[in-house]
Structure 1
């Protein structure tokens, strides 16, 4: 299946909840190991930064796939291109540029002869600086509408949302029952689902 043709077939108005599993499963079925992701909304440098941040936010473990395994950066890229308003796109791009500036990456097009040399520690440092903070610092960033903080917060929230609603996580990691049966009230999560959260 040609991924570009599949993406063209998606409507411009995507529902926030309904479209997510559909889009992610489509992206998963269309991608192969040899295929290089070509971003629709993000520049190559922005996509590089997004992939590295998302991989640290939701890394792969021995029991669960990571965000990269379920194509979360691809989904965020597709969702931004199809669902953001023009104003939202401008604000988001300004935020991404601010994150890149903080990381010391220029906004110039990617030059194959000058690859980005940032390491995992650099991306972890910016996440720690803005997301692993005290409640007081968080409130201060919100009050001043700090662009880097707001953008990283948005990326984290989108990543978690896309990850939890992906087909792989929704059906194999979380508890999934497409046709719920009887309702059990006042039972522990351990008793009801073996300690796992519900996908729906």
Structure 2
């Protein structure tokens, strides 16, 4: 597989936006497992990095749980393992390897007693470099077909998607009505839901 084809595949990162019952079932299975997570697709190093990135993308606040609280990294791992084609897995693997290389830990051995020694500032720096950018910088990365940018964008999109469709967020943070029965089209969001978005 060449780099151009890989980047095209990464550019289709929003192709999973429609949450089917099977995918929602996958997410719920992640939410109920309290034991230590053993990744199905990612290596131990990659799983560790994925957790750190996702935690910085959607951190816990005083009012809402974070991505780690609703097991977003586990869902991403399960989704990649179960839902992607072999070709898409190769693309994802290539992109994640580029992120690991950018962090300087591509070939670092994993030690369960001493995990990767990067600090949160190191992960935050790569997110700032590639995701907290101006429109002009984003266009430049796209035109350059930057694989790290495409991969981090995909991880961010998957994280937000998994977070919003988790049971905890869908029923306790967003507005949830299991049997909607009325339409009020001419009122503000503040009046209808107190300013909160609807759960899908």
Q: TM-score range by the shorter chain?
A: 0.7 to 0.9
- Alignment of 1:28 with 2:7, yes or no, is no
- Alignment of 1:85 with 2:85, yes or no, is yes
Q: Which runs of 5 or more structure 2 residues have no equivalent in the other structure?
A: 1-15
Secondary structure in 2 matching 1:197: coil
Tell me the distance in 1 between the aligned counterparts of 2:128 and 2:105: 18
Contact 1:20 1:166 in 2 (8 A): no
Over 3 Å counting, the alpha-carbon distance change for 1:112 and 1:69 in structure 2 is closer
Map residues 11-26 of structure 1 onto 2, 5 A cutoff. 16-18=18-20, 19-26=22-29
Q: CA deviation at 1:178?
A: 1.2
Q: CA deviation at 1:119?
A: 0.4
Q: CA deviation at 1:95?
A: 0.6
Tell me the distance in 1 between the aligned counterparts of 2:175 and 2:113: 47
| Root mean square deviation of aligned Cα | 1.7
Tell me the distance in 2 between the aligned counterparts of 1:127 and 1:49: 12
Q: Determine the structure 1 residue equivalent to 2:192.
A: 192
Q: Determine the structure 1 residue equivalent to 2:127.
A: 127
Tell me the distance in 1 between the aligned counterparts of 2:122 and 2:199: 33
Residues 68-87 of structure 1, C-alpha deviations (whole Å, 9 max, x = no match)? 00000000000001111111
Map residues 51-70 of structure 1 onto 2, 5 A cutoff. 51-70=51-70
Q: Determine the structure 2 residue equivalent to 1:8.
A: none
Residues 91-131 of structure 1, C-alpha deviations (whole Å, 9 max, x = no match)? 11111111011111023552447631100000000000000
Over 3 Å counting, the alpha-carbon distance change for 1:112 and 1:185 in structure 2 is closer
Tell me the distance in 1 between the aligned counterparts of 2:108 and 2:43: 10
Secondary structure in 2 matching 1:82: helix
Q: Determine the structure 1 residue equivalent to 2:12.
A: none
Contact 1:97 1:107 in 2 (8 A): no
| TM-score normalised to structure 2 length | 0.87
Q: Determine the structure 1 residue equivalent to 2:160.
A: 160
Residues 128-172 of structure 1, C-alpha deviations (whole Å, 9 max, x = no match)? 000011111100111121000000000000000000000000000
| TM-score normalised to structure 1 length | 0.87
Map residues 40-119 of structure 1 onto 2, 5 A cutoff. 40-107=40-107, 109-112=109-112, 115-119=115-119
Contact 1:170 1:176 in 2 (8 A): yes
Tell me the distance in 2 between the aligned counterparts of 1:90 and 1:145: 17
Contact 2:17 2:161 in 1 (8 A): no
